[in-house]
Amino acid sequence: MSKSVGRVEAALREARLGVRIVELGDCRTAEDAAAACDCGLDQIVKSILFADDAGGLALFLTAGGNRVDPDRASALAGRALGRADAGAVRAATGFAIGGVPPLGHLTPVPAWWDPRLSKFDEVWAAAGTPRHVFAAPPGELLRATGAKPAAFTA
């Protein structure tokens, strides 16, 4: 097992989420993940990170078919945000883009939750690599992440 998947597994245990990480084929898009998980596109939790000019990050957990609106994201964070680059994402979270989970990051990152995710009985999220995912009830995942539900999608 990779260190990244192990760190997610530990975070899931710590959060008392009794879920199992599964390995799929390489899933580089939310569409790929939905097909591999045999679920709807919006049941995929995308972990989208934005950065401010000082390098501070903000995490937006959004449904697979939604896009984060940068202006709404900036308003919620209280500062101007733009897409975070791969180096900043890895430095703060310990994960590469494409496998960033909603929890288990190296450093705390403020997070917001797309209310669309709460419409399902189960959602699927990355578990540290583009090949690993886990399914969880959205309410339990929301609790575990400490994210704030908010309208930030386009």
pLDDT of residue 137: 98
- Cα separation, 135 vs 154, whole angstroms: 25
CA-nearest of 6, 41, 10, 12 to 27 is 41
Q: Is residue 110 part of a domain?
A: yes
What CATH number is associated with residue 69?
Answer: 3.90.960.10
Q: What is the pLDDT of residue 75?
A: 97
Considering its fold, how many domains does the chain have in total? 1
pTM, full prediction: 0.96
- Tens of pLDDT along the chain (154 residues) come to 689 999 999 999 999 998 999 999 878 899 999 999 999 999 999 999 999 999 999 999 999 999 999 999 999 999 999 999 999 999 999 999 999 999 999 999 999 999 999 999 999 999 999 999 999 999 999 999 999 999 999 9
Residue-range definition of the domain harbouring residue 101: 3-149
Residue 154 lies in a domain: no
Residue 103 lies in a domain: yes
Q: Please name which of 34, 72, 63, 61 lies closest in space to residue 152, comparing C-alpha atoms.
A: 72
Cα(42)–Cα(77) distance, integer angstroms: 24
DSSP annotation of 47 reads E
Cβ atoms of residues 136 and 108 within 8 Å: no
